[in-house]
Amino acid sequence: MMKLCLWQGNVYDCSELFRPIETNFGKCCTFNMVPQTLLHRYMDDARDAPQDISDWNEWTSMSELISKGDLSSRKKFPRVQNRAGKVSGLAFLVDPDLEEYFCTASDSTGFRLATHLSTDVPHVTDFGLAIRPNYEHFVSVRPEITLADDVIEGISIEKRNCYMDGEFRLNYYNYYTSSNCMDECIANLTYEACNCVRYYMPRDHNRAICGPAKYQCAEDVKQKSFNLGVKNICQNCLPTCTEIKYFADATSTPFRRRVDLWADEYNKSTSWAKSNISIIHVYFGQDSSYARVRSQLYGFSDLVANFGGIMGLMCGFSGLSFIELIYFFSLRVWFRQRRKRHLRQKQELREAAERDRETALAYLGVGLSSSRRASIESARSNANNSISFKPISLVANSANEKDVDSLSSGYVSNSPTNLADNNGDDVVAVSKF
């Protein structure tokens, strides 16, 4: 089937580059795919070379496919195209052997080509490009990369709607992808309904392959999954947070007629040169690709910043205004209450001093009306005050007025002061009380 293969401009034996695999389209050949022995948990495929298995074992995760330009640390597998373009890509020549067609999966002739991740089982029937005989095909591959920001790891799976590396484990595949998860889900449904699985489905040694008698049962399960939707049936098969998808843009042109395009070492046309062959060139159409980042849309800081910006735009509100609100409804209220208590205490002290002054004056009989003196004397009697004073009379001269004024603070002069009437009688010494 494969007559000639080139990689990076060098000729290879096609068996070195391609490996056989069973798909839903039938038997296919894959390039740059993880060996079946490593892809499946319960499969030991004798077609996988031990050296290839050993080399692929060094490849740990899909993140190694994403490089920032440094190719020095690249491993042997998966193979990497050093630069974009047809010359450094993959090219191969295939012969459809139209005379050997029997019980094919489609009504057309030629081949189907599908691009997929190295850890994905290819779905050739669903996504394969048609390869016409007697045409040269140019397939430009375009990757779409999605990276996961570290901040989303703390978000629950239900909210971020994707799996981080190693977060979900499949029963029959060693590598998790959304496509492999759905294949395993359909295989489980088929086994539950038919007690067998199709030849290309994942399985262990206890699961039998469906024969012709179970064909209709397996088809009914397949049709039911199409009607209900695979994503609705297999709701746990979320995409990975970091993922790579490959998309192909194909063009083709017919061969020149009546011209020998290939010749052997004797300059004679090869036996297959005039059959319905096809040439396919597969290559990356660009050296680099922009990656999308799966990250948190709004964090706490973003929410505060947006809220403040909207309030500032609509209401002239800012962070200082928020602090002012806190001040007016907390600190300012507390200070006002404290000031009121302070003023109340000062007023009480002032009133107490005034009462003391009036009491002193009442004892001395100066500056109070008879009714006021009577009320003070009555309050004094009710308090059972044991202090007694001798009634005295004061002369309203300048010296005595000074002593009397000193009573306004509730005190009489500490030094004895002579108080006398006009006749010089009844001299009394008044001290602090």
**pLDDT for residue 424:** 42
- Number of structural domains the chain divides into: 1
Q: How confident is the model at residue 171 (pLDDT cuts 50, 70, 90)?
A: very high
- C-alpha torsion sign, points 104, 105, 106, 107: positive
CA distances from 319 to 312, 325, 349 (A): 9, 10, 43
Segments of 8-108 assigned E as strands: 10-12, 18-23, 26-31, 90-94
**pLDDT for residue 394:** 40
Per the CB < 8 A criterion, the answer to whether 195 and 217 are in contact is no
Q: Does residue 275 lie in a domain region?
A: yes
Q: Does residue 111 lie in a domain region?
A: yes
d(C-alpha 97, C-alpha 271), whole Å: 12
Max mean pLDDT among 62-66, 107-111, 125-129, 388-392 falls in: 125-129
d(C-alpha 405, C-alpha 361), whole Å: 10
d(C-alpha 145, C-alpha 291), whole Å: 5
**pLDDT for residue 373:** 62
Q: Does residue 135 lie in a domain region?
A: yes
Q: Which residue type occupies 300?
A: F
Per the CB < 8 A criterion, the answer to whether 248 and 130 are in contact is no
Lowest mean pLDDT among 310-324, 338-352, 374-388: 374-388
**pLDDT for residue 57:** 84
What confidence tens digit (pLDDT) does each residue in 132-161 have?
A: 988 999 999 999 999 999 889 889 999 899
Q: Which residue has the higher pLDDT, 210 or 65?
A: 210
**pLDDT for residue 367:** 54
Q: Which residue has the higher pLDDT, 14 or 414?
A: 14
**Tokens encoding 182:** 């759905």
d(C-alpha 182, C-alpha 238), whole Å: 9
Q: Which residue has the higher pLDDT, 384 or 196?
A: 196
**Tokens encoding 212:** 């012709």
Per the CB < 8 A criterion, the answer to whether 249 and 71 are in contact is no
> Which residue in 351, 262, 387 sits closest to 11, CA to CA?
262
Max CA-CA distance within the chain?
166
d(C-alpha 192, C-alpha 120), whole Å: 24
What confidence tens digit (pLDDT) does each residue in 230-247 have?
A: 989 999 999 999 999 999
Q: Which residue type occupies 38?
A: L
Residue with tokens 């396919």: 280
Q: Does residue 27 lie in a domain region?
A: yes
Q: Is-cis flag, bond preceding 212, omega within 30?
A: no
**pLDDT for residue 379:** 64
Per the structure, the complete domain to which residue 31 belongs is given by: 2-64+74-152+244-294
Lowest mean pLDDT among 150-164, 341-355, 408-422: 408-422
User: Can you spell out the DSSP letters for 236-260?
Assistant: T-PPBSSEEEEEEEEEEEEPPTT--
Lowest mean pLDDT among 55-64, 115-124, 166-175, 310-319: 310-319
Residue with tokens 């690709």: 289
Residue 409 has pLDDT above 50, yes or no: no
Which residues 6+ apart lie within 8 Å of 400 measured at CB? 394, 419
> Which residue in 151, 164, 161, 201 sits closest to 179, CA to CA?
201
d(C-alpha 97, C-alpha 79), whole Å: 29
Q: Which residue has the higher pLDDT, 168 or 351?
A: 168
Per the CB < 8 A criterion, the answer to whether 387 and 431 are in contact is no
Q: Does residue 276 lie in a domain region?
A: yes
Supply the CATH number for residue 95's domain: 2.60.470.10
What confidence tens digit (pLDDT) does each residue in 206-224 have?
A: 999 999 999 999 999 999 9
Q: Taking the C-alpha atoms of 344, 348, 354 and 356 in order, what is their torsion angle to the nearest 10 degrees?
A: -170
User: Can you spell out the DSSP letters for 253-319?
Assistant: EEPPTT----B-TTS-B-TTTTSS-EEEEEEES-S--PEEEE--S--HHHHHHHHHHHHHHHH---H
For the chain, what is the mean pLDDT?
A: 79
Average pLDDT over residues 96-100: 78
Q: Does residue 129 lie in a domain region?
A: yes
d(C-alpha 25, C-alpha 105), whole Å: 6
**pLDDT for residue 310:** 74
CA distances from 200 to 123, 211, 245 (A): 11, 13, 22
Q: Does residue 413 lie in a domain region?
A: no
Q: Does residue 341 lie in a domain region?
A: no
